[in-house]
Amino acid sequence: MLVFLVQRLFGVVATIWVITTCAFFLMRLAPGGPFDLERSLPPDILRNIERKYHLDEPLIAQYIRYVTDIVVRGDLGPSYKYSDRSVNDFIRDGLPVTLQLGFFALCVAVAIGLTMGLTASLCHNTRWDYAAMGAAILGVSIPDFVLGPLCQLFFGLKMRWLPVAGWEGFSSYLLPSITLGSMYAASIARLTRGGMLEVMHQDYIRTARAKGLTERLVVLRHMIRGGLLPVVTYLGPATAFLLSGSMVIEKIFNIPGLGRHFVQSALNRDYTVCLGMVIFYSALILVCNLLVDLAYLVIDPRMRKQ
């Protein structure tokens, strides 16, 4: 297991380096720049600004300096638009809010998805199965940028049950979390149903029933461990996508998280902030996938032998 962990960590580091390299040069080669304003700056002022941020150096020298700062000091660079703030400051301020939103959305997705998927699989080809899968298809079909305003309109403005914006108190957490988690709940429900139906006809399930175990014990001790493996695989990237995909929800509900800084940096052409967010989200996805692989070894003993 130690060899497996070392190999995966090496793969994570190598992938982050490739993403960083590609993103850095694509950002620099894109037309325009962070100091291209409606009114052009005087040449002397522009040269001083470029000298301050080392933009007057060759592109390779800028790249080496940037990677060195990340590796040695963990510094993702300064913001070009906000001279008194760095990319690390934006991440430090916005990450707790984004993690809270992602955690609540994941809880909603897992709770609703597992309930619907288990109900559909255990009541196969009944009205409960059809109802659960119909709701799952509906959840996958409605994008969050449509569901969010609809929830604001109905639950916030019409019924006046919940606030439509902000991030203060439990009531303000509900609408963004439900909106963000609904699509993932639908996917989890479909994966749970498929995994459980595949496991139901395995030999070890027949053996467990032949030993006289009750159906409840068969489901809890044997079916769920094998049937939820597709869900475990999905939860790794889904967790990272919940956090990275929250930028739309944060914009709709005016939540002060990383997503809002990401969108604003792209609009402002604040390349260091945008690049830092790309690297951070990429590392988050890779770490989540690594945790899923480790969880596989714990859940399925057959993986340890391989």
Its pTM surpasses 0.75 = no
Q: List pLDDT tens digits, range 112-131.
A: 988 888 888 888 888 888 88
- Residue 270 near residue 79, CB atoms below 8 Å: yes
Beta-carbon contacts of residue 31 (< 8 Å; ≥ 6 apart): none
pLDDT bucket at 18, cuts 50 / 70 / 90: very high
| Domain covering 100-270, topology | MetI-like fold (1.10.3720)
Q: What whole-number percentage of the chain has pLDDT above 70?
A: 84
pLDDT bucket at 302, cuts 50 / 70 / 90: low
Alpha carbons 77 and 66: distance in angstroms, whole number: 7
Q: Is the pLDDT of residue 163 over 70?
A: yes
What is the residue whose two structure tokens read 């989200």?
281
| 58 vs 219, higher pLDDT | 58
| 255 vs 233, higher pLDDT | 255
DSSP 81: S
| 208 vs 280, higher pLDDT | 280
pLDDT at 41: 63
- Residue 78 near residue 53, CB atoms below 8 Å: yes
Q: Is the pLDDT of residue 305 over 60?
A: no
Sign of CA dihedral 88, 94, 100, 104: negative
Q: What whole-number percentage of the chain has pLDDT above 90?
A: 1
* C-alpha dihedral, 85 to 87 to 88 to 94, nearest 10°: 90
pLDDT at 72: 86
Question: Could you state, in order of their start, the residue ranges of all structural domains in the chain?
Answer: 100-270
Q: Is the pLDDT of residue 27 over 70?
A: yes
